[in-house]
Structure 1
Amino acid sequence: MKLVISVCVLALVGLALADTKTHSRGCIYIVGRCARECEEGTHAYAVGCAQKTPEATCEEPNPVKEEAIICDYSACYCDPPTVRDTVSDKCVALEDCPKKN
């Protein structure tokens, strides 16, 4: 029985370590595995267990750190100096953001 448990533990460790490929732009992680790489023009943003800073957007180009603590958060944020256009979901220069009416 101990042998079966040992083999199962080793298999789980092997699966956890299997995704050792480096990702130049970073990844969105789900349960410790890279679910998808960040697209061109973005980079990975992650917090273990901490306050997160929202992504800069057309509506809020200078976001402030949130008060709540969040764990295991990862996302692809636009590379500075671009911000996220929440309408098109694309990274754009701030001057290219849709004009407010």
Structure 2
Amino acid sequence: MNAWAVIVAAGLGSYLLRVSMIGAADRFRPPARLDDAAGLVAPSAFAALAVSDIAGAALDGGALQASAPLTAAAVAVLAVARTGSAYAGMLAGLPTLWILTALTSA
């Protein structure tokens, strides 16, 4: 089978799967409990990424390397606590992580 045919088939399959979910959203309403829980998916995913980054940095480089993601996570938690918005946590935590990582790796 030609490589281009595989690429086109995979792209078409991915497109059809996404379109089918959009079409099904009009006909199907999830239960209220599931709809409420969906709002917690992004914060829990970011929390899992932060914890794995902190643990990986602590194992690889010790306390100095772990201080950057740990401080960024603390800044993000404070931003969310003050504003109540997960986006504020990302807007405060990510630049803190980038700056502190640049300072500690130099």
* TM-score by shorter chain over 0.5: no
Greater Rg by CA:
2
Q: With a CA cutoff of 8 Å and minimum separation of 6, indicate the structure with the bigger relative contact order.
A: 1
TM-score relative to the length of structure 2: 0.27
Determine which structure has the larger helix proportion and give its number.
Answer: 2
Could you state the TM-score of these two structures normalised by the residue count of structure 1? 0.28
